[in-house]
């Protein structure tokens, strides 16, 4: 599949536009890694961009991420909660493996939670910024905040 179909509520799905998958991958890379995006373009087999193209992609990415800024605390909450859940599932599986000690599991807790958090947050950020850009979702005056210590 080289294009992703996009339908809008107003279209009654009679007119479905398509966006190249490579565009979605590029948006994702820039939205989650901005300055480093060109270093990772090979992961999705993307054509390298020129310096001018890179600056344009960064500016577009900044606009996409700013458009969902009001929900970033909520995305952070879900990434944190999911990382906690994922590690506990991981821990449950690890305790059943021969040769894995409690000390080994405890020592791996922070690195694994951190890894899970970053992967999950990247997925949420990338998907919400793309959905907003494509007008799949609309954000109203939603404001979120999570007080320190609530998680």
Contact 43, 20 (CB under 8 A): no
Q: Which of 67, 96, 116 is the last residue of a domain?
A: 67
Report the predicted TM-score, pTM, of the whole model to 2 decimal places: 0.81
78 and 141 co-located in one domain: yes
7 and 59 co-located in one domain: yes
Which tens digits make up the pLDDT trace of 77-135? 999 999 999 999 999 999 999 999 999 999 999 999 999 999 999 999 999 999 999 99
Which tens digits make up the pLDDT trace of 21-33? 999 999 999 999 9
114 and 148 co-located in one domain: yes
76 and 140 co-located in one domain: yes
Instruction: Look up residue 128 and give its two tokens.
Output: 């919400």
146 and 72 co-located in one domain: yes
Range of the structural domain that residue 119 is part of: 68-151
Ranges of H-type helices in the chain: 21-33, 37-40, 51-67, 72-94, 102-133
pLDDT at 17: 72
Backbone angles phi, psi at 4, to 5 degrees: -110, 125
62 and 81 co-located in one domain: no
52 and 111 co-located in one domain: no
pLDDT at 34: 80
Domain count for the chain: 2
33 and 53 co-located in one domain: yes
pLDDT at 125: 98
Instruction: Look up residue 144 and give its two tokens.
Output: 């979120």
53 and 106 co-located in one domain: no
Alpha-carbon gap, residue 78 to 19, rounded angstroms? 28
For residue 5, the surrounding DSSP H or E stretch is strand 3-6
């Amino acid at each position: 599949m080289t294009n992703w179909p996009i339908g809008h509520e107003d279209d009654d799905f009679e007119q479905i536009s398509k966006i190249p998958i490579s565009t979605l991958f590029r948006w994702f890379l820039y939205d989650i890694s901005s300055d480093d995006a060109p270093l990772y373009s090979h992961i999705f087999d993307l054509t390298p961009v020129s310096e001018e193209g890179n600056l344009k992609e960064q500016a577009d990415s900044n606009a996409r991420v700013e458009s969902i800024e009001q929900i970033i605390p909520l995305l952070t909450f879900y990434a944190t909660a999911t990382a906690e859940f994922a590690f506990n599932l991981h821990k449950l599986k690890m305790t059943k493996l021969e040769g894995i000690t409690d000390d080994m599991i405890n020592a791996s807790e922070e690195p694994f939670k951190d890894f899970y958090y970053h992967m999950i947050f990247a997925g949420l950020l990338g998907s919400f910024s793309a959905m907003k850009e494509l007008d799949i979702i609309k954000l109203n005056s939603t404001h979120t905040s999570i007080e320190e210590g609530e998680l």
